[in-house]
Amino acid sequence: MRIDILTVVPKLLKSPLSDSIVQRAQDNEVVEIHVHDIRKWSTDKHKKVDDEPFGGIPGMVMTIQPILDAINELRSERSYDEIIYLTPDGETLKQGRVNQLSLANNLLMVCGHYKGIDQRLRDHVITMELSIGDYVLSGGELAAAVLTDAIVRLLPGAIGDEQSALTDSFQDQLLAPPVYTRPANYNGWEVPEILRSGDHAAIQNWMEQQAIERTKSKRPDLFEKDS
């Protein structure tokens, strides 16, 4: 997979994508991630990328020219499965959407800043709009990092068997069961006996029951909605 990200603050994306599983996936050529500074495409002599909104409202809006030129250059080189705009008024991201996007070959993400991008870009070139939750971030960058991380960890070869993505919370509409490690008794805090029984069928059954109980008590809404 290849992921291109357009932003006016490339530095905000560097660190979250340069460690852990996402970095290892890049090292192993499971994914190529390219972060581009939108300013590079600005034809303005001061490299401006924003302007005042029509209608006399406060704030600044990202202009069409640099973003559209960037998108056109990138899509002349390859075709994108989706051109995703990260915005608080987009569809709320859920695991099902992440799973679907993990099957793409090329994704292009556009991070808005200030009051966002000119609506005409959303009307004519953006193919999907995603939010990561009902709260407002300063820009789409951290949301793009969240989306990228969620996608990349699903790619074949990104994570080892020891942390299989199939046992994650949400992957089967359930939260993950509790986990324990050594020592079995820490100052009187005991690991559940069943996990030490060696009875794999019983352990599997216990974990499923725990997942169901946990979901019922923490997130009953998950039983009603799809992901």
d(CA 88, CA 116): 10
16 contacts ligand 6GU (rule: CB under 6 A): no
For ligand 6GU, which is the closer residue by CB, 5 or 143? 143
Q: Which of 133, 157, 178, 192 binds ligand 6GU (CB under 6 A)?
A: 133
Identify the residue whose tokens are 């973003």.
67
59 contacts ligand 6GU (rule: CB under 6 A): no
d(CA 93, CA 147): 8
Peptide bond into 183 cis (omega under 30): yes
135 contacts ligand 6GU (rule: CB under 6 A): yes
Q: Which of 87, 102, 106, 215 binds ligand 6GU (CB under 6 A)?
A: 87
Radius of gyration of the chain (CA): 22
Please choose, from the candidates 141, 3, 8, 117, the residue with its C-alpha nearest in 3D space to the C-alpha of residue 68.
117
54 contacts ligand 6GU (rule: CB under 6 A): no
Whether 106 and 77 have beta carbons less than 8 Å apart is answered as: no
d(CA 126, CA 122): 5
End-to-end CA distance of the chain: 23
Least Å distance, CB 135 to ligand 6GU, is 5
Least Å distance, CB 130 to ligand 6GU, is 6
Least Å distance, CB 91 to ligand 6GU, is 10
62 contacts ligand 6GU (rule: CB under 6 A): no
Stretch in the footprint of ligand 6GU (CB under 6 A) among 63-71, 84-92, 157-165, 178-186? 84-92
143 contacts ligand 6GU (rule: CB under 6 A): yes
Report residue 158 as tokens: 């990104």
Least Å distance, CB 38 to ligand 6GU, is 15
Helices (H), the chain: 10-14, 20-27, 64-77, 95-101, 119-124, 141-152, 200-218
131 contacts ligand 6GU (rule: CB under 6 A): yes
Stretch in the footprint of ligand 6GU (CB under 6 A) among 66-74, 130-138, 166-174, 197-205? 130-138
89 contacts ligand 6GU (rule: CB under 6 A): no
* Ramachandran angles phi, psi of 170, nearest 5°: 75, -20
**Which residues in this chain contact ligand 6GU in the complex, by CB under 6 A?**
86-88, 131-133, 135-137, 139-140, 143
